[in-house]
């Protein structure tokens, strides 16, 4: 019963960041007269008996000493220290297991006394939290904003390709202090604005033109000889997916169209194509693809001036994708947007992986079938006599730029349904400026816009060109590039337009739409009912996927998937099936489902279902791998009774990003669980402590190495708290495949078995991955809920939470708990909180 009482303190005890290795230790500190006398002996007695041995001024293990600590609790640092004490004792992390342990009654008395003092200090403390630093738009928000303002995707331009990479803070990419601006970046902003405006609105008005290509389909490097000999360059062929090392048929281009399209616009592309030899009698294992799936053909842009046309380029989003017929060639049609100078290229998204290797193996294993067999990479015999799987294109037609209604989306979204009107130029510019600045314009704004417009007219620019130059100035203004605030400095609550911008960028990563803007204009947005109504509307819109993607990239660090990829030979499916994208999508679908259904956030820790596509079903060895098709996309599947999956920790994306691509470590994954699930930031290891070699190819297993490492007293303080959180995840390899043994080391006949058991510092034990998740749900649930609330607040406000924010977070925790820990409730409470609505 006493243990249960202790656990009840957890939900309200935690305030501020937790730091592992902290013993709840206090010296015989001074006690002021206004401190309740019956509390002091309880606290000081507990500390003297159980803590001072390791945490006096001389020892200070974990870089914590408390001789300077005193009562009553007055300063923010004192409150943070008290919070840490409460947490460590509540979780039974401290005192360490090798030390004398207090009874449950002693723990309850100590925590109760210290909590009372914290509560007294909270009541006396002034309200309010920290402040958000005015921040610029992140690169992804910048592109989303431009796409919204101009009414069309802008990723075909690659506007941020040369921008400096955004800095993150604890993986968050919305923190104002991290989003710095440099002179180089300002120059990039000007170039991007000029390019966008001129490419989309300043282009010449050309009549549609048609191109028809029937030959000279040259292909480079090893493909050239075979295609000249067998096809006389009459066919363009695709042999592999584009993300391989060999690039032998990963991209198909039009040699006679390297100059690309004359202007940016919509173009119709027709391709006469056929899937060849999907029924090949060759061993399908050679090609590493699923021949039960129809071949796919996709279009991506290319630019001959930006690098080798047959190699990957920085700007190549998929513009269209379709299935290729097997029986005979058919005309396939794509309507795509191409920028001036871009030429269409064709790819085989689900094609063989590394065609060169498959050609070599086929020549070797089936040489008796050819008249003049050649061992090596010869394609000639395979194309003339064999059954090499590939896509064959015989003709290509291109037509455009196509005429669009009302001059095109850009003209409509920038100038209105009537397009640019010289006699209303300033009115139209002011209207665009209001949308770009996300607030009503003031006299200074109008004066600047008018000045640049009139200046360009005086320099003999046409009215339209003068207006376009004014648009560029607007897009380079701090009022556009920054989420600026017009709320006066002496007001704490955001005014309606500032609140509208913060809300729309939190959920859509884009400017407010007209409905939200009107709610701000009428000043009803600051009313609780209207704010909740708008939050529900924005979350229900598909544009809220930007929130889900951005938040999960930050919270779970999913944006780093792929930064440390596994060796190609060790995990070919990671590359051949583009697993990183499927890994991210599983977490996104799971989050979306909980958000839409207001499901309990504890499902993030343990759930009896998940969302998989055919690729993940195969990786997870689920029964659905035999029934799902690629065309089915992601489906909800049950993992009830499956001890290998369920919750975030069973997702390949989390398991991949918490490994280094080559091997795994309980330390690395334990730290990931601490930071992302429990919200605990462990202190960095001391400089004198050597790093741990996580390679298990030697005589000892990683567990044995860690046990030896913990013999060092300097190391044991942290590792006894970190390692048990990572042991259970050793049952997964670096890309999340289930395993019971480690890879067999060189010169060893037996592979070491994985031991997924562990004991937490609080004494709870688990024997496997499933048991570990149960422990987290039962005893760390409140920590997880509070951590998720703080992560959401940090992401949405653009700043890290401070000690003074904890009063409002306490309120959110209580509301969310009362509603079953629902995710929709949690997000709504975060976005209606005083913290979110304040400067």
386-443 pLDDT tens trace: 999 999 999 999 999 999 988 899 999 999 999 999 999 999 999 999 999 999 999 9
Q: If you average pLDDT over residues 647-669, what whole number do you get?
A: 93
Do residues 180 and 213 both lie within one domain? no
Confidence of residue 2 (pLDDT cuts 50, 70, 90): very low
Tell me, yes or no, whether 775 lies in a domain: yes
Three-state SS for 544?
helix
- Report the pLDDT value the prediction gives residue 72, as an integer from 0 to 100: 65
Q: Give the residue from 103, 124, 145 where a domain finishes.
A: 124
Residues in contact with 138: Cβ distance below 8 Å, sequence separation at least 6, in sequence order: 166, 173, 174, 179
Residue 209 pairs in a beta bridge with 400
Q: For 321, list phi and psi in degrees, rounded to 5.
A: -150, 145
Confidence of residue 807 (pLDDT cuts 50, 70, 90): confident
Distance CA 398, CA 162 (A): 30
Do residues 85 and 180 both lie within one domain? no
Confidence of residue 27 (pLDDT cuts 50, 70, 90): very low
Tell me, yes or no, whether 547 lies in a domain: no
Q: How many CB atoms lie within 10 A of CB 682?
A: 18
CA distances from 759 to 692, 719, 725, 768 (A): 21, 12, 9, 11
What digits encode the pLDDT tens for the residues 298-336? 999 999 999 999 999 999 999 999 999 999 999 999 999
Structure tokens at 755: 């031991």
Q: If you average pLDDT over residues 553-574, what whole number do you get?
A: 91
Three-state SS for 413?
helix
Do residues 566 and 619 both lie within one domain? yes
Tell me, yes or no, whether 800 lies in a domain: no
Distance CA 696, CA 710 (A): 17
Q: Are 657 and 558 in contact (CB under 8 A)?
A: yes
Tell me, yes or no, whether 799 lies in a domain: no
Q: If you average pLDDT over residues 619-626, what whole number do you get?
A: 96
Nearest to 736 by CA among 645, 673, 815: 645
Give CA angle at 76 (73, 79), nearest 5°: 50
Do residues 197 and 264 both lie within one domain? no
Do residues 683 and 748 both lie within one domain? yes
Do residues 142 and 234 both lie within one domain? no
Do residues 649 and 774 both lie within one domain? yes
Tell me, yes or no, whether 25 lies in a domain: yes
- Domain containing 313 equals 209-402
Do residues 201 and 218 both lie within one domain? no
Mean pLDDT check: name the lowest of 4-8, 277-281, 404-408, 777-781: 4-8
Segment (H or E) for 211: strand 209-213
Tell me, yes or no, whether 638 lies in a domain: yes
Do residues 656 and 754 both lie within one domain? yes
Distance CA 522, CA 535 (A): 17
What digits encode the pLDDT tens for the residues 474-501? 999 999 999 978 898 888 899 999 999 9
Q: For 118, list phi and psi in degrees, rounded to 5.
A: -65, -40
Tell me, yes or no, whether 523 lies in a domain: no
Given a cut of 70, whether residue 5 has pLDDT beyond it is no
- Report the pLDDT value the prediction gives residue 260, as an integer from 0 to 100: 97
Structure tokens at 194: 């000029």
Count how many domains the chain has: 4
Distance CA 397, CA 256 (A): 12
Q: Give the residue from 429, 464, 484 where a domain finishes.
A: 484
Q: If you average pLDDT over residues 201-213, what whole number do you get?
A: 96
Given a cut of 70, whether residue 215 has pLDDT beyond it is yes
Q: Give the residue from 80, 103, 124 where a domain finishes.
A: 124
Do residues 118 and 203 both lie within one domain? no
Residue with token string 């056929």:
274
Do residues 426 and 388 both lie within one domain? no
Segment (H or E) for 400: strand 390-400
Instruction: Tell me which DSSP letter residue 370 carries.
Output: S
Burial 537-556 (b: 16+ CB within 10 A, else e): ebbeeebbebbbbbbbbbbb
**For the chain, what is the radius of gyration of the CA atoms?**
31
Nearest to 135 by CA among 796, 801, 833, 831: 796
Distance CA 612, CA 634 (A): 5
> The domain that contains 364 carries what CATH number?
2.60.120.260
Do residues 18 and 88 both lie within one domain? yes
Q: Can you list the alpha helix ranges (DSSP code H) found in 476-544?
A: 478-481, 496-507, 514-521, 528-540
Tell me, yes or no, whether 705 lies in a domain: yes
């Amino acid at each position: 019963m006493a243990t249960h009482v202790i656990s009840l303190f957890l939900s309200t005890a935690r305030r501020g960041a937790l730091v592992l290795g902290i013993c709840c230790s206090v010296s015989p500190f001074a006690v002021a007269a206004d401190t309740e006398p019956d509390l002091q002996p309880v606290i000081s007695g507990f500390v003297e008996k159980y803590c001072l041995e390791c945490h006096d001024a001389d020892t200070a293990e974990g870089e914590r000493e408390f001789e300077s600590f005193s009562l009553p609790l007055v300063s923010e640092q004192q409150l943070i220290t008290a919070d840490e004490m409460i947490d460590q004792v509540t979780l039974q992390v401290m005192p360490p297991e090798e030390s004398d342990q207090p009874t449950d009654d002693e723990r309850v008395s100590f925590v109760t006394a210290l909590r009372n003092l914290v509560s007294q200090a909270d009541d006396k403390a002034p309200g309010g939290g920290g402040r958000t630093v005015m921040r610029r738009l992140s690169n992804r928000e910048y592109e989303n904003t431009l796409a919204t303002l101009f009414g069309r995707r802008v990723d075909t331009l690659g506007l941020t390709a040369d921008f400096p990479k955004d800095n993150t803070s604890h993986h968050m990419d919305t923190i104002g202090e991290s989003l710095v601006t440099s002179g180089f970046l300002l120059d990039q902003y000007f170039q991007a604005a000029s390019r966008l405006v001129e490419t989309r609105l300043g282009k010449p008005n050309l009549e549609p033109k048609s191109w028809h290509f029937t030959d000279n389909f040259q292909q480079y490097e090893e493909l050239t000889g075979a295609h000249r000999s067998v096809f006389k360059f009459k066919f363009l062929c695709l042999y592999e997916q584009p993300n391989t090392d060999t690039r032998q048929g990963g991209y198909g281009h039009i040699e006679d169209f390297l100059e690309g399209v004359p202007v940016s616009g919509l173009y119709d592309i027709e391709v006469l194509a056929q899937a060849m030899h999907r029924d090949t009698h060759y061993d399908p294992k050679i090609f590493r693809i699923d021949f039960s799936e129809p071949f796919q053909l996709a279009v991506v842009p290319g630019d001959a001036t930006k690098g080798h046309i047959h190699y990957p380029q920085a700007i190549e989003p998929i513009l269209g994708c379709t299935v290729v017929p097997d029986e005979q060639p058919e005309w396939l049609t794509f309507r795509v947007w191409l920028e001036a100078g871009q030429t269409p290229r064709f790819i085989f998204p689900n094609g063989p992986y590394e065609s060169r290797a498959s050609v070599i193996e086929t020549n070797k294993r089936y040489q008796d079938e050819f008249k003049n067999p050649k061992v090596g990479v010869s394609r000639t015999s395979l194309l003339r006599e064999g059954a090499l799987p590939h896509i064959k294109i015989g003709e290509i037609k291109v037509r455009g730029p196509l005429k669009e209604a009302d001059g095109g989306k850009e003209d409509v979204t920038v100038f209105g349904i009537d397009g640019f009107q010289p006699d209303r130029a300033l009115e139209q510019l002011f209207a665009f400026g209001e949308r770009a600045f996300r607030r009503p314009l003031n006299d200074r704004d109008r004066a600047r816009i008018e000045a640049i417009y009139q200046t360009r007219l005086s320099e003999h620019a046409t009215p339209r060109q003068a207006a376009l130059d004014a648009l560029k100035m607007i897009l380079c203004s701090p009022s556009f590039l920054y989420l600026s605030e017009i709320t006066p400095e002496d007001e704490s609550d955001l005014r309606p337009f500032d609140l509208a911008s913060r809300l729309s960028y939190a959920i859509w990563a884009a400017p407010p739409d007209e409905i939200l803007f009107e709610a701000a204009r009428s000043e009803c947005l600051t009313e609780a009912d209207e704010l909740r109504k708008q939050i529900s509307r924005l979350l229900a819109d598909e544009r809220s996927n930007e929130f889900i993607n951005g938040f999960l990239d930050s919270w779970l660090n999913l944006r780093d998937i792929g930064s440390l990829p596994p060796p190609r030979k060790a995990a070919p499916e990671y590359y051949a099936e583009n697993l990183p994208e499927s890994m991210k999508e599983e977490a996104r679908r799971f989050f979306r489902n909980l958000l839409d259904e207001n499901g309990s956030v504890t499902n993030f820790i343990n759930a009896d279902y998940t969302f998989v596509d055919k690729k993940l079903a195969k990786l997870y060895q689920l029964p659905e791998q035999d029934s799902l098709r690629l065309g089915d996309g992601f489906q909800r599947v049950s993992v009830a009774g499956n001890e290998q999956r369920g919750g975030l920790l069973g997702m390949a994306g989390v398991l991949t990003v918490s490994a280094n691509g080559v091997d795994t470590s309980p330390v690395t994954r334990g730290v990931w669980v601490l930071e992302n699930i429990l919200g605990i930031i462990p202190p960095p290891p001391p400089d004198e402590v050597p790093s741990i070699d996580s390679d298990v190819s030697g005589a000892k297993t990683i567990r044995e190495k860690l046990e030896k490492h913990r013999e060092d007293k300097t190391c044991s303080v942290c590792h006894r708290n970190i390692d048990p959180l990572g042991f259970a995840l050793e049952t997964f390899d670096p890309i999340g495949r289930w395993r019971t043994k480690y890879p067999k080391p060189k010169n060893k006949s037996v592979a070491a078995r994985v031991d997924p058991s562990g004991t937490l510092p609080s004494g709870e034990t688990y024997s496997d991955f499933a048991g570990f998740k149960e422990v987290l749900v039962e005893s760390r649930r409140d920590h997880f809920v509070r951590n998720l609330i703080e992560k959401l607040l940090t992401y949405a406000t653009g700043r890290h939470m401070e000690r003074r924010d904890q009063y409002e977070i306490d309120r959110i925790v209580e509301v969310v708990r009362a509603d079953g820990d629902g995710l929709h409730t949690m997000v709504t409470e975060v976005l209606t909180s005083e913290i979110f609505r304040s400067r």
